[in-house]
Structure 1
Amino acid sequence: MAVKPEWLRVKAPQWERVGSVKEILRDLGLNTVCEEASCPNIGECFNAGTATFLIMGPACTRACPYCDIDFEKKPQALDPQEPLNLAEAVRRLKLNHVVITSVNRDDLPDGGASQFVRCIEEIRKLSPKTTIEVLIPDLCGNWEALRIIIEANPEVLNHNTETVPRLYRRVRPQGDYQRSLLLLQRSKELSSQVYTKSGIMVGLGETDEEVRQVMEDLRQVDCDILTLGQYLQPSSKHLAVQEFVTPAQFEAWQTFGESIGFLQVVSSPLTRSSYHAEQVQKLMKKYPRK
């Protein structure tokens, strides 16, 4: 694997705090995308007492060659206790904002939408002031499944486009770029209250022009929030990094994104889809939905 430049090096975490968060997660039998996807920000986020919960996992029904989540294990039946345990973790961690994501569960008729809903409902019971962001898969285009998630009233509906259309066959072979755009568009059609969000990873061979076109496509479907970050190769078995994008380029994309109307653009080499997700609370105060 290519040697990482200096701007991608992260500080060693304070393992005492990391350990206490992990202890709560293990006690409740929960997974986090922070661990399963080998996120480089795990130390910072765990030290801040935050985590992105991975439900219905950790086994995924898709085999995206960039992702470190296990697709070789057989998906298990949904755990009816998971929503209750997740809500209890949110309460114990005293989270102001929580992100709930999942593996792809194409084996389920609703793609797991009902489990997202149960998680939202249980969190509302124990932590009514906590804002909720769901980072969902494309649900295989099941718009009825999307409807029931939206009707559970998460503050943020996040779905990542991941890369540019030209690279989909190589990077996201079971995904569909237009379907992802349509999911974001339909989310807004179902609820004008929801803040929609998407993310792009770069360094896989895309051009600046292609990234800007994806940004414009997302604005065409009224996407509110955008994250851009550097792809990092989890292992030698995964897609290789084609380029380490400079911080200056990330700043240029942030400026462009803000100029075309995104309410918030988080763009840096270490940005991930749920990195500093709690910042959405400031956005909600600045741009309240009525």
Structure 2
Amino acid sequence: MADSRRDAEAAPGEEAANPHPGKGEYKMRKARFDRTQEDLGRKPRWLRVRSPSDPRVHEIKDILRSHELHTVCEEASCPNLGECFGGGTATFMILGEVCTRRCSFCDVATGRPAPPDPLEPAHLAAAVAEMGLDFAVITSVDRDDLTDGGAGQFAEVIRLLRDQCPDTGIEILTPDFRGCEEEALARLAEHPPTVFNHNVETVPELYYTVRPSADYGRSLGLLRRFREVVPDVPTKSGLMLGLGEELDQVRRVMSDLRAHGVDILTLGQYLAPSGHHHPVRAYIHPDTFKRLEEEALELGFLSVNAGPLVRSSYHAGDHIPGRPSPLPD
């Protein structure tokens, strides 16, 4: 495990980022996974999206650049960028655009991040106010180099948003805060969000090749522990399908999430950012997503958003239960 973690994370002398078109090849050169490409034929019609052409897309990008902000929509090459930007919404990515881990599904650059920008929370709050958002989603890269995993920056963003945009709902999508969970949760408890989101991303059987620096049990524990610390805030998690998982494995993860008090679930199709990333092993039919959504609701989830183009933050403001369900014993 130590060897895989070392290969998966940024080495101390590694460059901060590679901004060139070969970013995927650069990032994945040390990642361990089966690179055999599946012959899946042409991408199904339900996964084809139009390139963004709405002038609102350029307006949102201009606002983000003027405040020196990044979005996961752009950094992770999200297929819904045109729809979300066109509708005047965005998922903000704080703590820089360079991650300390090397997940084989992700298009965010890996390397040695710069120190957190102390002005970033103020820039973000100003941008949300300028955009007039009803609901803002805040996520981040993994920051294993920080003693609190970046939780302090999340808390400061929430504090300023509550002050300057009191009517705006706030979802945070956090890393696992490996090694500093209690400190991170204490910081977030001081300024809690509307929704706490941490994605398990895939089934535990695939963690070694998909999330080699993560731990399935640790992610479940973080979700439950947050509910124990902040009982009035619902928790949320999500999975990508099409990485090679079996449906029964997905069902077991859904059961695990409910057992750890998670009320909101997202399920979407994995799409490889480049030919150098983890290959797509299967295209999941919309009917399968619909069936899994129905099964998840039967398990007791209060809100489920499942479909080929669903991403963790997709229509996030439309999927908030009034109150979280009781935390299971």
The answer, yes or no, to whether TM exceeds 0.5 is yes
Q: Distance in 2 between matches of 1:125 and 1:224?
A: 27
Aligned to 1:89: 127
Aligned to 1:69: 108
Aligned to 1:258: 297
SS at match of 1:19: helix
Check 1:214–1:237 CA distance in 2 against 1; reply closer, same or farther (3 A cut).
Answer: same
SS at match of 2:137: strand
Please state if 1:246 is matched with 2:285: yes
Q: Distance in 2 between matches of 1:7 and 1:161?
A: 25
Q: How big is each residue's C-alpha offset from its partner over 1:53-104, in whole Å with a ceiling of 9 and x where there is no partner?
A: 00002000000011000003x2001111100000001101111110000000
Check 1:246–1:24 CA distance in 2 against 1; reply closer, same or farther (3 A cut).
Answer: same
Q: Distance in 1 between matches of 2:319 and 2:124?
A: 21
Matches within 5 A, 1:171-190: 171-190=210-229
Aligned to 1:220: 259
Given that 2:125 and 2:161 are in contact with CA atoms closer than 8 Å, whether structure 1 keeps it comes out as yes
Aligned to 2:249: 210
Matches within 5 A, 1:158-169: 158-169=197-208
Compute the TM-score of the two structures, normalised by the length of structure 1: 0.96
Aligned to 1:273: 312
Aligned to 2:151: 113
In the TM superposition, residue 141 of structure 1 has moved relative to its aligned partner by: 4.2
Q: How big is each residue's C-alpha offset from its partner over 1:155-189, in whole Å with a ceiling of 9 and x where there is no partner?
A: 10000000001000010000000000000000110
Q: Distance in 1 between matches of 2:317 and 2:275?
A: 33
Given that 2:304 and 2:319 are in contact with CA atoms closer than 8 Å, whether structure 1 keeps it comes out as no
Q: Structure 2: where are the runs of 5+ without partners? A: 1-36
Given that 2:268 and 2:310 are in contact with CA atoms closer than 8 Å, whether structure 1 keeps it comes out as yes
Given that 2:72 and 2:92 are in contact with CA atoms closer than 8 Å, whether structure 1 keeps it comes out as yes
Please state if 1:140 is matched with 2:178: yes
Please state if 1:124 is matched with 2:162: yes
SS at match of 1:249: helix
In the TM superposition, residue 14 of structure 1 has moved relative to its aligned partner by: 2.9
Aligned to 2:232: 193
Check 1:33–1:13 CA distance in 2 against 1; reply closer, same or farther (3 A cut).
Answer: same
Compute the TM-score of the two structures, normalised by the length of structure 2: 0.85
Given that 2:71 and 2:91 are in contact with CA atoms closer than 8 Å, whether structure 1 keeps it comes out as yes
Please state if 1:99 is matched with 2:137: yes
Q: Which runs of structure 1 show a deviation greater than 3 angstroms over 4 or more consecutive aligned residues? A: 287-290
In the TM superposition, residue 150 of structure 1 has moved relative to its aligned partner by: 2.8
In the TM superposition, residue 10 of structure 1 has moved relative to its aligned partner by: 1.2
Given that 1:141 and 1:179 are in contact with CA atoms closer than 8 Å, whether structure 2 keeps it comes out as no
Check 1:85–1:61 CA distance in 2 against 1; reply closer, same or farther (3 A cut).
Answer: same
Identity of aligned residues (%): 52
Q: Distance in 1 between matches of 2:300 and 2:235?
A: 13
**Which structure has the greater CA radius of gyration?**
2
For these two proteins, the number of residue pairs brought into alignment is 286
In the TM superposition, residue 289 of structure 1 has moved relative to its aligned partner by: 8.6
Q: Tell me which of the two structures has the higher relative contact order, counting C-alpha pairs closer than 8 angstroms and 6 or more residues apart.
A: 2
Q: How big is each residue's C-alpha offset from its partner over 1:213-262, in whole Å with a ceiling of 9 and x where there is no partner?
A: 00000000010100000000000110000000000000010000000000
